[in-house]
Amino acid sequence: MAAKKSPAKKSAPAKKVVKKASSAKKSAPAKKVVKKAAPAKKSAPANKAVKKSAPAKKSAPAKKAVKKSAPATKKVAPKKSIPAKKTPAQIAAEKKAKAAEAEKAKKAKEKEVAAKKAAAAKAAAEKAKAQKAAAAARAKELAAKKAAAAKAAAEKAKAQKAAAAEKAKLKKAADAEKARLKKIADAEKAAAKKAADEAKAAAKAAAEAEKAAAKKAADEAKAAAAAAAAAAKRKPEPPKRPVIVKGPSEDGITSTKEFDLKFLFAQRDALNEERTKLVGQANRLENEANALIADAEMGDVQFDEEGGEGDTLVVERDQDLMLSEAARQTVEEIDAALQRMKNGEYGYSVLSGLPIPKDRLRAIPWATELVTERAGGLGRH
């Protein structure tokens, strides 16, 4: 019974696996796989197993084993494609293509490097340009600051120079006024001395006359001669004042024969301008003197002969007051000159009545004497 059943026929699937592997012979690489897969033919012992075991159905696991070996052929499938041997021309072409590709990559790399360098150079140029612009702006700002500082210094120096010039001018005017006052004081002193000498001489003559009262007419004549000699020493009477010929009046000013309205208007403007200037100087000098006094009082400075600290302040204060007084005295003379314009007496000497030269009036609009009279001929004492 066992010999009748031929279970070996059911192992045919193993042959199919071999056939499938053999189909791989179409591609040259598959030969190796087929040779490795050849051991699958060892499934023949399954026939013997079939003969021993009557049930043919139990040989099914053999099919499973065969199927399991199939994946081994699939895993090595990528090795089936063996590249065909290349010809020298193909090799040369590939080398040429690779060289061209390398050259192209090299050029691209060089181009990229050049672009980076250009970008870096451009950035550096822009940065340098920005730095240069910033430096120029800083230099411009510094130059502007220096110019402003120089301008401020120049203005300060100009103001200091103007103040020094004004102070020098005031000092000069004060010195001139001081000299004038000293001259007047000297003249008054000389006149007083002369009057004292004359009085002394007169007293001596009177005493001699009293002593010679008992003498004869000769002695009386001698006394008269002495009195006449004393009278001859006296100052002669000034000449009679000439009559001022007045002209038309306009705007509160009366013209004369020697001085027309045009000249008088110009002189009035000069007098008013000088008056405004002198009043301002007098007020400023008085304020400075008062400020010195206030500062001295706050600092307890002693204004006397024993106070050494206040010497300088005393000198400055006295100088300011003297200059202020001189300015106010000149203002009074200007006011008197303006009044003489209204009366038609401007430009004539208050001593002799003679006309003062126009050049002298232009230089000193408030002049009241001729130069010769001022020098001492008929000058007032």
Specify the range with the lowest mean pLDDT, choosing from 115-119, 205-209, 345-349. Answer: 205-209
Specify the range with the lowest mean pLDDT, choosing from 104-118, 190-204, 258-272, 321-335. Answer: 190-204
Q: Tokens 């300088």 correspond to what residue?
A: 312
Q: Tell me the pLDDT band of 12, cut-offs 50, 70 and 90.
A: very low
Model pLDDT, residue 150: 93
pLDDT tens-digit profile of 291-301?
Answer: 877 776 665 55
d(CA 328, CA 210): 53
pLDDT of residue 171 exceeding 80, the answer is yes
| Alpha carbon distances (Å) from 369 to 171, 269, 346 | 25, 21, 11
C-alpha 252: how far from its chain's center? 54
Specify the range with the lowest mean pLDDT, choosing from 53-57, 194-198, 237-241, 315-319. Answer: 53-57
pLDDT of residue 114 exceeding 90, the answer is yes
pLDDT of residue 289 exceeding 60, the answer is yes
Q: Tell me the pLDDT band of 69, cut-offs 50, 70 and 90.
A: very low
Model pLDDT, residue 363: 94
**Would you call 227 helix, strand, or coil by DSSP?**
helix
Question: Which domains are assigned to the chain?
Answer: 241-375 (1.20.120.910)
187 Cβ contact partners less than 8 Å away, ≥ 6 residues apart: 376, 379, 381
Model pLDDT, residue 296: 66
pLDDT of residue 30 exceeding 70, the answer is no
φ, ψ of residue 248 in degrees (nearest 5): -70, 155
Model pLDDT, residue 25: 40
